[in-house]
Amino acid sequence: MLVITRKSGETVRIAESSLVAGKVVPSAPARRRGPAASYEELARVSTRAWRPVESERLGAWELRAASGFTRRANSALPLGDPGLPLDDALTAVRRWYAARGLPAYVQTATGAEGTQELLCAELEKRGWTREVTAELWIGSLAPLADREEPAGVVLSRTADEAWLARYQRKGLSDVALKVLGSGPSVWFATVPGDGDVPAAIGRCVVDGRWAGFAAVEVDPALRRRGLASAVMAALAGRALEEGASAAWLQVEADNTGARALYAGMGFAAHHAYHHYREPGNSSGSGR
């Protein structure tokens, strides 16, 4: 008998006498061209990389809450029919967030097939305010790992005190730490500095073929020295080892420095996403 392993990992047995010809199929090479992706695939991947501590389904909508730590973890994500007329669905959303002492947000997207231009218009008609707009960019992972030798970058499964000292959000709660550590396979990168605070940090979540980058931050006094590229290269190398081939990240429209950096790495905008706040409420939470 011969034991054969499929690409899925399943093993099958066949009689050697029935074999006519065969060969070992090598692992597929990492893709070096831009990935193809739908909006829905990216929406689901990105939300798995930044999980709330509490969620509930409303039809095909997901209501997400994390004590107000970022709008992405504290907004309704509509990916289909909520199972109710829109006005009733929005009323249910507002009640759900009010019960948790949070303003109600709906995260929508524009600029790609399957996105929600119509929903945006309906929200604006009802007095919901577009508060934050950012973009999700995608690119091929292998060239990112090939950019340079990421010497001095330390990878870890957890965000230690040093990593958190460089992270832009201070005074993080236990809920925020849970969100940071959420995702299928999470990695944190650190470039040690001269003192207790790292020179640079980054975060990556590997999820199937996708590697999502976030929290890439560099000491302002050390920018333009390739530290951000080194952090992303190290994380990309680890993601490749775990089987990923494509990369995504989120960047705000007014962050010109980051946009130039990521464009130089081969990333390009896939779609824009927006957070709409309910009428008559406000919040200072980040994206």
User: Tens of pLDDT along 225-243?
Assistant: 889 999 999 999 999 999 9
How much is the pLDDT for 34?
A: 64
Model confidence at 42, in pLDDT bands (50, 70, 90)? very high
245 within a domain of the structure (yes/no) = yes
In a domain, 203, yes or no: yes
Structural domain span for residue 129? 30-287
**pLDDT at position 117 over 60:** yes
Asked whether 278 and 133 are in contact (CB, 8 A), the reply is no
**Is the pLDDT assigned to residue 28 strictly greater than 70?**
no
Q: If you average pLDDT over residues 145-155, what whole number do you get?
A: 80
Q: Is residue 15 part of a domain?
A: no
User: Residue 274 domain-assigned?
Assistant: yes
Whether 5 is in a domain gets the answer no
| Rounded (10°) CA dihedral 260, 263, 267, 273 | 40
Q: Are 47 and 77 in contact (CB under 8 A)?
A: yes
Assess if residue 1 is contained within a domain.
no
What is the rounded CA–CA span in Å between residue 141 and residue 265?
10
Residue 186 has pLDDT above 60, yes or no: yes
Average predicted confidence (pLDDT) for the chain: 89
Establish if 113 belongs to a structural domain: yes
The CATH number of residue 162's host domain is 3.40.630.30
**CB–CB of 105/275 below 8 Å?**
yes
- Structural domain count of the chain: 1
Extended beta strands in 105-234, E state: 105-110, 129-140, 154-156, 185-191, 200-207, 210-218
Please provide the size of the chain in residues. Answer: 287
Mean pLDDT of 145-152: 74
Q: Judge whether residue 47 has pLDDT over 50.
A: yes
Which residues on neighbouring strands pair with residue 48, listed in sequence order?
none
Task: Measure the CA–CA gap between 231 and 234, rounded to whole angstroms.
Answer: 5
More confident residue, 147 or 157: 157
The answer to whether 78 touches 237, Cβ cutoff 8 Å, is no
Q: 239-242 contacts: CB < 8 A, separation 24 or more?
A: 239/141, 239/145, 239/187, 239/204, 239/206, 239/211, 240/30, 240/141, 240/142, 240/145, 242/185, 242/206
The predicted-structure confidence for 195-228, as pLDDT tens digits, reads as follows 889 999 999 999 999 999 999 999 999 988 889 9
Is 10 domain-assigned? no
